[in-house]
Structure 1
Amino acid sequence: MADDAQSSPFIKHLASSDKRTRDSALASLRAFLSSRSEISELDLLKLWKGLFYCLWMQDKPAQQQALSRSLASLPSSLKAPVVLPFLRAFWATIAREWTNIEALRLDKYLYLIRQYVNASFRFLAANSWGNEEGIKQHGEIMAEFPLSAQDTKIPNGLRFHVLDVWVDELEKVEGEWRVEKRGVLEQLCAPVETLAKEGRLKVVRNAAKETLGDERLRAWRGLVAEGGKEDADMEDDEEEEWGGIED
């Protein structure tokens, strides 16, 4: 499937400058994916490599954003068993290709990532956040890739961007968290909490703490102000281990 999918016209046509061609290609891709109840990890990775470079080839900002939104709409059309593997392949691809993204192309991928953070939350929010196993698996994906606490191969630039948009995109999906849903919220926060405590670099830990300290998130979690008390890690200037050159 993957070799055919990667070289098929609907993948290539997603990078077209013609809106009609792009729309037709997206419809074909959506139909292709929505008909599958299972897609192998390797096939999804090959598919996402093709999609990654579709965006790479798109030059005009308006068309870049339109393509990113189109790509972010794909999870909503997938059969449930395929969604999380599809998201995992997305994050694996972004983490792998991040260092190859040129500065002039970075903005469009930052926008795509924001759209996928939002799309992920929307998938999990279906049925009133009732998919407990899905929420757990999504947390594992986030902890493995963009919010990994220990993997030095994950670019810090990717970590920082996901942390930066995390609360904003969650608010767009669920702006008011009732007390009975706080357990779900705590599950969603778990990878950020782990990163804040176990991140290899202080700058990464602090970025995660800043996300957790967002007033909106603290209000949703029912947390009270701590009177300006600094986390012990914030006082510690010593790095446990050198984490490589910053992105």
Structure 2
Amino acid sequence: MASDAQNNPFIRNLASSDKKIRDQALDSLRTYLGAQSNISELDLLKLWKGLFYCLWMQDKPALQQRLSRDLASLVPTLRTTVVLPFIRAFWLTIAREWGHIEALRLDKYLYLIRQYVNASFTFLSRNKWKKSLLEEWNSIVGEVPLECQDMKIPNGLRYHVMDIWADELEKVDGEEWEKEEKKEIMEMLVQPIEKLAKEGKLKSLRTAAKECLADARLRAWRGQEDEVMDEPEEEDEEAEWGGIVD
């Protein structure tokens, strides 16, 4: 399972216990990625499989978190044309490998996901929340971590992304979200969650999306001061099973 990482000394060096070796490997990866204006989806997926198992093999919580932050620090070094394809490959990899993550390893991947949600929002913010980039980001999020109907997408991934959504938005632009000129951007940002709240295949997913949208910070940023009214739910036609289908 981890053969790609084990057979690639460059990727393996990112998980080294030797800080010097680890930093050199990260610098080499930054240099390589930063020079690319276009990387194929296949190459990005191969890279992310290696990076996924690089974190898999990393022991000690402090080093795991350091590696996750290092991996997220790659995003601002990428050319704009590569950033969102790189992030999409990240989500596709996480969704594909989720079912293999044992409980003892889960925390480090949850932390990595948080870092990548933050890095994504930071990228969008630095690009002035450009509409075309935001639309592409929404498309990626709607395809993988917040997809509404496909039960091959792990529900645990969906729940975690919604749990951290408002936290990471607050870290990126903080009080700026209270400004009137940010309202249109905010409404675009919540579109994938709004869609999941209405079209999620399972009642539990729809409920989680509504709870995310009911976050006091999101409501304040959107200018929603009224009380949240629960809408009646229809019974699910299918059993609420959140397992993974290979």
Shorter-normalised TM range: over 0.9
Aligned length: 239
Q: Tell me the CA shift for residue 239 of structure 1.
A: 1.1
Is residue 143 of structure 2 the alignment partner of residue 144 of structure 1?
Answer: yes
Matches for 1:141-180 after TM superposition, within 5 Å: 141-176=140-175, 177=177, 178-180=179-181
Is residue 103 of structure 2 the alignment partner of residue 103 of structure 1?
Answer: yes
SS in 2 for 1:27: helix
Counterpart of 1:222 in structure 2 is 223
In the alignment, the residues of structure 2 paired with residue 167 and residue 117 of structure 1 have an alpha-carbon distance, to the nearest angstrom, of 10
Q: Tell me the CA shift for residue 231 of structure 1.
A: 1.9
Could you tell me whether the CA contact under 8 Å between 1:38 and 1:82 is conserved in 2? Answer: yes
Q: Tell me the CA shift for residue 47 of structure 1.
A: 0.3
Matches for 1:1-247 after TM superposition, within 5 Å: 8-129=8-129, 131-176=130-175, 177=177, 178-226=179-227, 228-233=228-233, 236=234, 238-246=235-243
Q: Could you tell which deviates more after superposition, 119-128 or 75-84? A: 119-128
SS in 2 for 1:148: coil
In the alignment, the residues of structure 2 paired with residue 171 and residue 12 of structure 1 have an alpha-carbon distance, to the nearest angstrom, of 34
In the alignment, the residues of structure 1 paired with residue 37 and residue 242 of structure 2 have an alpha-carbon distance, to the nearest angstrom, of 41
Listed as ranges, the gaps of 5+ residues in structure 1 are: none
Deviation track 1:72-105 (CA, whole Å, cap 9, x = no partner) reads 1111000000000000000000000000001110
Q: Tell me the CA shift for residue 10 of structure 1.
A: 2.5
Deviation track 1:154-204 (CA, whole Å, cap 9, x = no partner) reads 000000000101100010001122111211111110000000110011111
Q: Tell me the CA shift for residue 127 of structure 1.
A: 3.6
Listed as ranges, the gaps of 5+ residues in structure 2 are: none
Could you tell me whether the CA contact under 8 Å between 1:6 and 1:46 is conserved in 2? Answer: no
Could you tell me whether the CA contact under 8 Å between 1:139 and 1:190 is conserved in 2? Answer: yes
In the alignment, the residues of structure 2 paired with residue 10 and residue 75 of structure 1 have an alpha-carbon distance, to the nearest angstrom, of 19
The residue type equivalent to 2:236 in the other structure is E
The residue type equivalent to 1:133 in the other structure is S
Q: Tell me the CA shift for residue 21 of structure 1.
A: 1.1
In the alignment, the residues of structure 1 paired with residue 9 and residue 78 of structure 2 have an alpha-carbon distance, to the nearest angstrom, of 20
SS in 2 for 1:168: helix
SS in 2 for 1:157: helix
Q: Tell me the CA shift for residue 240 of structure 1.
A: 2.9
Deviation track 1:13-65 (CA, whole Å, cap 9, x = no partner) reads 00111111111110000001001000000000000000000000001100000
Q: Tell me the CA shift for residue 5 of structure 1.
A: 9.8
The residue type equivalent to 1:217 in the other structure is L
Q: Label 1:6 to 1:29 Cα distance change in 2 as closer, same or farther (>3 A).
A: farther
Q: Tell me the CA shift for residue 8 of structure 1.
A: 4.4
Q: Could you tell which deviates more after superposition, 180-189 or 74-83? A: 180-189
- RMSD of aligned Cα (Å): 1.7
The residue type equivalent to 1:166 in the other structure is W
Could you tell me whether the CA contact under 8 Å between 2:5 and 2:12 is conserved in 1? Answer: no
Percent identity over the alignment is 64
Could you tell me whether the CA contact under 8 Å between 2:121 and 2:172 is conserved in 1? Answer: yes
The residue type equivalent to 1:149 in the other structure is C
SS in 1 for 2:190: helix
In the alignment, the residues of structure 2 paired with residue 240 and residue 194 of structure 1 have an alpha-carbon distance, to the nearest angstrom, of 18
TM-score (norm 1): 0.93
TM-score (norm 2): 0.93
Q: Tell me the CA shift for residue 12 of structure 1.
A: 1.3
The residue type equivalent to 2:220 in the other structure is A
